[in-house]
Structure 1
């Protein structure tokens, strides 16, 4: 998923003239106290249904507590949140992403939760790895909602109807292109393209780089790849696009970083890319049975996947009811009553006790997610270096430049040069 369309300077200043103009709905504008909370997340309608059901149960068991909820798509979420944080009136309960956690934590926008560990937050059984994945500079800034990994989501029946076996674990990048091109020549009807265009997908680009022993960013906060890497990436997709293996530029441009606007969901492609926690949402919106498998791999390359917190639940640093907010977080991630309602839609729960309680009640799509995480082990390496401040702006640049290349307004070489120049400019501001 992508986009942090407001720049780092905007993050600090955007709210100065807008602090009195909340962007959430009117019911979410209540002043927070011990009984009134505001909660926000990004995601699909399925995520919203589950979350609201769990929140209502929390309200019912905590007399006097009311939670005003709001959700939206990824693209809208981050600019709105940045404006609210800068204005000092963000929601108490914030769904946070690993990419942005470091930036928000180091700016003092979200609250360290260490003071609640062992009391309000009873998440010790998450283990050191999961706790560290939600920590910055030795302090805990969120509760891991679930473990997930990035992969390939396919309508396997569409592939087989075209006489081609769908991608699976261990499929190489070369094989993926060959399969996609063959599918494009054989398929009929609307779903005539094998694949979405992944050229603007930062998560997929990251897997491409990791397999080559590189990364989006290095440990010093600089870029972890060279112009030649980006050129090769854009060229791969340009050739696949030309061969009819992935959707054309005008179809990919319909994608707005939501499951609903995916080329797979819209019926233009047999395959798209997403995090494992999104699989349930994809299946909800797609009639054919879907499958999830690993990203393409590099022949003799390094493991190009990693397990990360799918999201985390954090507390706004200026919340007037931080302990009640922490209590709601605990209810959703560690108490069976709340966590079982959320299921695996946000990822496989970090708590072994919750996983054990959840497995017997899993439906087919949820079971697929758990199986995927288990089967991915041979392809999993360590977490990459943390994204630096400004990484969201670079993500936005990748999306824009990939579209310029797709529409042939730029060559892969020029697109790569533009991407690195813009990325270095953004990072230099830090």
Structure 2
């Protein structure tokens, strides 16, 4: 098998020394079966993914996989162009907020016909299977369970003389930490936290703690103008008081490579992230990192977190190799040796057998991520309904833009709150 990799971004990972027998018995595909695998991520994810591709190749010499990886911000425009043109990749890494949109326009294919045959899901976590369903049909196979989490630079907290956050930390505590960072003035004025006002998962967590939801099961907006005004006021206050980074600094983070995040650039000691990203962030940061929960809105208030499918593999709706793609996905999520290569970089494996196989092999950071997701306690709430088809547009084109407008002074929080609700409602109505 020859794997051809788009090298504009990352080089192919290699596990060529793995024995062919480790792949297990796999279907024999035609010699000319060539599939395209498209995913977002960093170098560490690329190396792990291509390592599993190599392992799969050992048992399937007739299959060729062309892999391409892009940063998050570049990934979605290219995928949208390809699927709209009927040129979808065979295997597509899919996100929870976009799966409804892609399923409803047939850009990804239902997988139900493969389950129990080519696609084995016998010991898969039930909640993770449900997360990949749209209108009762299975469109995505979860590649791991994770939760939102704060990425925390423990060395920076030590230098500032501040205890790192823990599962009981509130937004008021965060303010107190920020004041201590200001007084300590470490590393040229590092702030305690990045600006999270344009981070959809952080807004989602905050509103869930208030007993609401970002979106209702019917696909409507679950918050109101007062909620959004208060959200923008919260961050405007932290920005004005120097608790979080300023607008110009936050603008350096383009939602692309992890190297541009505030924690990698040394501008903030914490950023909103996901538990599975600890491995990737640690790979590019010299300081020791850990994860903690998002802040509570008040002491004792929980329910904001949930065990979310970190991402899915879906099959392109226009692809000619759907059964071969299903076979690769089944191998990716079920093979113990593949699981050892992947670790928990994409989240906690959803197969009980794979979890058992990899547990003794995990490094310290991977174990931290696993323990975090397994011990959320009262922070954990139910998995929300899949976001509506327009959720991605609201996140990228509205929330992020409006948060920057508030940060740079082009809007006040009092103006932005109603404007966000009106804009989001119009986007949802257009998409329905």
Shared fold (TM-score greater than 0.5)?
yes
For 2:383 and 2:105, locate their aligned partners in 1 and report how far apart those are by CA, in whole Å.
Answer: 23
For 2:31 and 2:188, locate their aligned partners in 1 and report how far apart those are by CA, in whole Å.
Answer: 52
Matched with 1:248 is 246
Matched with 1:359 is 359
> 1:182: Cα distance to partner?
2.1
Contact 2:88 2:317 in 1 (8 A): no
3-state SS of paired residue (2:356): helix
3-state SS of paired residue (2:98): helix
TM-score normalised according to structure 2 size: 0.90
Determine whether 1:368 maps to 2:368: yes
Contact 2:31 2:63 in 1 (8 A): no
Q: How does 1:16-55 map to 2 (within 5 A)?
A: 35-55=33-53
Q: After TM superposition, what 4+ stretches of structure 1 lie above 6 angstroms from structure 2? A: none
Matched with 1:9 is none
Q: How does 1:124-135 map to 2 (within 5 A)?
A: 124-135=122-133
Distance 1:374 1:128, change over 3 A: closer
Matched with 2:386 is 386
Determine whether 1:65 maps to 2:66: no
- Of 189, 192, 214, which residue of structure 2 is paired with 1:216? 214
Contact 1:207 1:304 in 2 (8 A): yes
For 1:404 and 1:33, locate their aligned partners in 2 and report how far apart those are by CA, in whole Å.
Answer: 54
TM-score normalised according to structure 1 size: 0.90
Distance 1:99 1:33, change over 3 A: farther
Contact 1:190 1:267 in 2 (8 A): no
Determine whether 1:428 maps to 2:426: no
Determine whether 1:409 maps to 2:410: yes
RMSD value, Cα: 1.6
Contact 1:105 1:136 in 2 (8 A): yes
Give the stretch that moved more between structures: 154-163 or 274-283: 154-163
> 1:302: Cα distance to partner?
4.2
Cα shift readout 1:53-83 (whole Å, capped 9, x = no counterpart): 1112212321121100001111111111111
Distance 1:107 1:83, change over 3 A: same
> 1:375: Cα distance to partner?
2.0
For 1:191 and 1:108, locate their aligned partners in 2 and report how far apart those are by CA, in whole Å.
Answer: 49
Distance 1:370 1:25, change over 3 A: closer
Cα shift readout 1:260-308 (whole Å, capped 9, x = no counterpart): 2110011111111111111110111111111101110122434110111
* Structure 2 gap ranges (5+): 1-5, 9-29
Determine whether 1:106 maps to 2:104: yes
Distance 1:201 1:122, change over 3 A: same
Q: How does 1:239-388 map to 2 (within 5 A)?
A: 239-257=237-255, 258-299=257-298, 300-388=300-388
Matched with 1:165 is 163
3-state SS of paired residue (1:255): coil
3-state SS of paired residue (1:272): strand
Matched with 1:85 is 83
For 1:351 and 1:410, locate their aligned partners in 2 and report how far apart those are by CA, in whole Å.
Answer: 47
For 1:273 and 1:256, locate their aligned partners in 2 and report how far apart those are by CA, in whole Å.
Answer: 14
3-state SS of paired residue (1:193): coil
3-state SS of paired residue (1:129): helix
For 2:387 and 2:82, locate their aligned partners in 1 and report how far apart those are by CA, in whole Å.
Answer: 22
For 1:306 and 1:48, locate their aligned partners in 2 and report how far apart those are by CA, in whole Å.
Answer: 26
Count of residue correspondences: 402
Contact 1:191 1:270 in 2 (8 A): no
Contact 1:213 1:302 in 2 (8 A): no
Matched with 1:15 is none
Give the stretch that moved more between structures: 181-190 or 136-145: 181-190
> 1:185: Cα distance to partner?
2.3
> 1:25: Cα distance to partner?
8.2
3-state SS of paired residue (1:88): coil
Distance 1:57 1:422, change over 3 A: same
For 1:259 and 1:357, locate their aligned partners in 2 and report how far apart those are by CA, in whole Å.
Answer: 29
For 2:188 and 2:120, locate their aligned partners in 1 and report how far apart those are by CA, in whole Å.
Answer: 50
3-state SS of paired residue (1:41): strand
Matched with 2:16 is none
Contact 1:182 1:245 in 2 (8 A): no
Cα shift readout 1:371-405 (whole Å, capped 9, x = no counterpart): 11122132101012321121111102111111111
3-state SS of paired residue (2:385): coil
Cα shift readout 1:19-49 (whole Å, capped 9, x = no counterpart): xxxxx889xxxxx996200000011111011
Contact 1:42 1:71 in 2 (8 A): yes
* Structure 1 gap ranges (5+): 1-23, 27-31
